[in-house]
Amino acid sequence: CPKLDGITDPSQLPQEGMWYEVHAPGSVSIKEGGDLWSYPHLAQKAVFKQLMTARAGIVVKKLASQRIPIDVECKVCDRSRGYEEHLGADKHWRTLHEKFIPDGQSVEAVRHLIWQS
């Protein structure tokens, strides 16, 4: 996806319905086509909680500040309340491992199933 620096408000994005990178990734794979164990935030619960909670906070604050506030919900888990707290939670980490990214599965191959669109 295209990288855009300096975007502080979603209304500044050039096009709707398209993904843009406005913050550098919090974690990247240590090998091309890597499975969940190749990503530090997917391999370790503590790292996952730290990185995902911080990133969820950014999303929640930006969307809540819109003229018409947008409330984000998790589309990966069956139930979730409080996106900012939920995204880094053990339940979300387990659901990703069990339902979407089993051992040996390339994260890149299933990324489109996980990202909320």
Contact 27, 80 (CB under 8 A): no
Listed in sequence order, the DSSP H helices in the chain are: 40-43, 45-64, 83-86, 90-95, 107-114
What per-residue confidence (pLDDT) applies to 88?
Answer: 92
Question: Tokens representing 45?
Answer: 């619960």
41-87 per-position pLDDT tens digit: 999 999 999 999 998 998 888 888 888 888 888 888 876 678 888 99
Exposure string over 10-24, b if 16+ CB within 10 A, otherwise e: eeeeeeeeeeeebee
Q: Is the pTM of this model over 0.85?
A: no
